[in-house]
């Protein structure tokens, strides 16, 4: 049966060419005979052209009735302007009812505060308050203008000179908002086509600056100097134009997302070997590290002129607001015309600049603040020894003590919720305020979630031991239920 079917199909296919080439399938045009297959191809070509030239079919236009319009309007759902709110986004942070000193008032009760980066304990300092009050009487509250457009007040220049003298740099420049210092200074120097090698653990302010710069960004493993050297080697070897491009290394002195110190001596060695510039963020190290609180350069004994650009927020050890960038005169002058946060923002309120000057004066007059802070960090470390289910990830000298889970769940959100439950238990049962990691959807940091404890020179030994005991109790209770001890 199958062979008969094959024979029929073969005969049919053999018939088609013969039919097209037969005499009756041909045509004569102006006395010239044309084969039948040419006629068929011509007809098909004409049909295709006609179809292509035809207008697409459109149904006849008929106006909608009012009822149909109303139905469409009722069914229409506009796209949301914001992403959907998830359960972890609904957490409300505690509201302080007092200044953010070593002790705060929350819901009418006294709480030991480890959630504010008041490292030197200057929040509420009488001399600081008096200087701000005098400044308010003299200058008022705000400047109502950018620095380049009648917003520069003499106290701004005094503050810039004070910072430069304190850190040993030729010049400095003030910014109105701490985090805007980083995402204004970076794009002022780094442009499209430049290469930036950056630690994967940097905070969001630096990440945003990298994004705004439109530079080529290459990440290396967190605080891993071998990974940094391999990255620098790869960047310089594989890119033929590397020697003609501007190249930067961007790191934090004391990482906000881990509490670790960057080995600055190694950074300088690699910078000089591969000919990169270094941008160092000292937001959490100025006023904290070094024999006199002058930051990471003093701590490692590195000449400050070896760092090309230094930025810092003043809302931590200096207990004020705003930020600064310091370095050579050329580095500072370039920002006065090219840094968006400086050029387009109203200048720092004068009383906050006065507060920064006073804070530096207090640090220089009271070096014991640093020894008290370091002693408090050591006391807390001893108290947190062998805490169940948690481990200290930060540097022993860091006043930002960072606790992370010994056994992660594998999910940042799950880890964060677990740590948040510990923080909530410590607040409710132990009257101790600590900060658990929470990151926005814009933050690309991939480091583990943790609990931050900001140690202050204003904490007493009783405060530190109370915090350690409360955390041990909470972690043992809550992590044992989850099988993380």
Confidence band, pLDDT 50/70/90 cuts, at residue 319: very high
420 three-class SS: helix
Axis-axis angle for helices 178-189, 329-338 (nearest 10): 100
Total domains, the chain: 2
Last residue of a domain, one of 320, 348, 365: 365
CA distance 221 to 251: 12
Whether the per-residue pLDDT at 29 is higher than 50: the answer is no
Is 385 found in the same domain as 238?
no
Last residue of a domain, one of 342, 365, 388: 365
Q: What is the CATH number of the domain that holds 361?
A: 3.40.640.10
Write down the pLDDT at residue 182: 92
Whether the per-residue pLDDT at 299 is higher than 90: the answer is yes
Is 182 found in the same domain as 166?
yes
Is 256 found in the same domain as 146?
yes
Q: Give mean pLDDT, residues 176-191.
A: 92
Of 3-7, 95-99, 141-145, 267-271, which one has max mean pLDDT?
A: 267-271
Instruction: Write out pLDDT tens, residues 205-233.
Output: 999 999 999 999 999 999 999 999 999 99
CA distance 361 to 375: 22
Instruction: Write out pLDDT tens, residues 320-362.
Output: 999 999 999 999 999 999 999 999 999 999 999 999 999 999 9
Is 244 found in the same domain as 178?
yes
Is 232 found in the same domain as 354?
yes
Is 412 found in the same domain as 287?
no
Question: Would 198 be classed as within a structural domain?
Answer: yes
Question: Would 49 be classed as within a structural domain?
Answer: no
220 and 199 in contact (C-beta within 8 Å)? yes
Write down the pLDDT at residue 13: 47
Q: Give mean pLDDT, residues 187-212.
A: 94
Phi (first) and psi of residue 29, to 5 degrees: -120, 115
Whether the per-residue pLDDT at 256 is higher than 90: the answer is yes
Q: What is the CATH number of the domain that holds 439?
A: 3.90.1150.10
Residue 171 token pair: 């010049």
Question: Would 105 be classed as within a structural domain?
Answer: yes
Going 368 to 370 to 373 to 378, the CA torsion angle's sign is negative
Question: Would 20 be classed as within a structural domain?
Answer: no
Buried b (16+ CB within 10 A) or exposed e, 397-424: bbbbbbbbbeeeeeebeebbbbbbbbbb
Is 130 found in the same domain as 110?
no
Write down the pLDDT at residue 282: 96
Instruction: Write out pLDDT tens, residues 377-411.
Output: 999 999 999 899 999 999 999 999 999 999 998 88
Instruction: Write out pLDDT tens, residues 431-475.
Output: 999 999 888 878 889 899 999 999 999 999 999 999 999 999 999
Q: What is the DSSP letter of 151?
A: I
- Give the domain range for residue 417: 87-122+368-481
Question: Would 140 be classed as within a structural domain?
Answer: yes
Whether the per-residue pLDDT at 30 is higher than 70: the answer is no
Instruction: Write out pLDDT tens, residues 136-167.
Output: 999 999 888 998 888 999 999 999 999 999 99
Is 282 found in the same domain as 174?
yes
Instruction: Write out pLDDT tens, residues 361-378.
Output: 999 999 999 999 999 999
- Residues constituting the chain: 485
Write down the pLDDT at residue 238: 79
Is 285 found in the same domain as 254?
yes
Is 342 found in the same domain as 232?
yes
Is 270 found in the same domain as 237?
yes
Instruction: Write out pLDDT tens, residues 81-121.
Output: 887 777 766 777 889 999 999 999 999 999 999 999 999 99
Last residue of a domain, one of 365, 399, 420: 365
Is 451 found in the same domain as 402?
yes
Strand ranges (E), 69-108: 103-106
Virtual torsion, Cα 192, 195, 201, 203, nearest 10 deg: -30
Mean per-residue pLDDT of the chain: 88
């Amino acid at each position: 049966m199958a062979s008969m079917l094959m024979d029929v199909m073969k005969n049919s296919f053999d018939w088609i060419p013969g039919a097209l080439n037969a005499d009756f399938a041909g045509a004569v045009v102006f006395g010239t005979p044309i084969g039948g297959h040419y006629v068929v191809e011509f007809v098909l070509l004409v049909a295709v052209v006609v179809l292509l030239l035809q207008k697409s079919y459109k149904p006849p236009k008929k106006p909608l009735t009012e009822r149909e319009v109303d139905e469409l309007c009722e069914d229409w759902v506009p796209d949301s302007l914001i992403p959907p709110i998830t359960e972890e986004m609904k957490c409300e942070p505690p509201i302080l009812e007092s200044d953010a000193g070593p002790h705060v008032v929350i819901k009418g009760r006294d709480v030991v505060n480890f959630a504010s980066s008041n490292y030197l304990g200057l929040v509420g300092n009488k001399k600081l308050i008096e200087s701000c009050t005098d400044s308010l009487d003299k200058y008022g509250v705000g400047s109502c203008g950018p620095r380049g457009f009648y917003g520069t007040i003499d106290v701004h220049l005094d503050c810039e000179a004070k910072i430069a003298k304190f850190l040993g740099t030729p010049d400095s420049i003030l910014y109105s908002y701490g985090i805007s210092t980083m995402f204004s200074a970076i794009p002022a120097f780094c442009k499209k086509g430049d290469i930036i090698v950056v630690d994967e653990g940097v905070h969001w302010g630096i990440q945003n600056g990298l994004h705004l710069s439109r530079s080529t960004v290459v990440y290396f493993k967190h605080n891993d100097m071998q990974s940094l050297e391999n990255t620098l080697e790869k960047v310089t070897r594989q890119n033929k134009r590397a020697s003609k491009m501007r190249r930067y290394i961007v790191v934090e002195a004391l990482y906000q997302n881990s509490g670790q110190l960057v080995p600055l001596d190694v950074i300088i060695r690699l910078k000089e070997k591969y000919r990169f510039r270094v941008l160092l963020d000292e937001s959490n190290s100025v006023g904290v590290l070094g024999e006199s609180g002058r930051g990471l350069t003093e701590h490692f004994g590195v000449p400050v002129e070896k760092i090309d650009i230094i930025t810092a927020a003043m809302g931590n050890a200096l207990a004020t607001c705003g930020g600064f960038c310091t370095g050579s005169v050329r580095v500072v002058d370039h920002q006065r015309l090219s840094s968006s946060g400086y050029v387009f923002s109203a200048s720092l309120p004068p009383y906050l600049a006065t507060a920064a000057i006073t804070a530096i004066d207090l640090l220089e007059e009271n070096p014991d603040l640093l020894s008290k802070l370091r002693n408090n960090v050591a006391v807390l470390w001893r108290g947190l020894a062998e805490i169940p289910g948690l481990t200290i990830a930060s540097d022993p000298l860091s006043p930002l003590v960072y606790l992370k889970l010994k056994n992660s769940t594998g999910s940042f959100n799950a880890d964060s919720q677990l740590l948040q439950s510990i923080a909530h238990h410590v607040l409710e049962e132990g009257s101790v305020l600590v900060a658990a990691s929470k990151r926005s959807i814009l933050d690309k940091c991939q480091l583990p979630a943790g609990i931050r404890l900001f140690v202050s020179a204003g904490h007493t030994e009783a405060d530190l031991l109370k915090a350690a005991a409360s955390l041990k109790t909470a972690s043992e209770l809550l992590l044992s239920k989850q099988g993380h001890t």
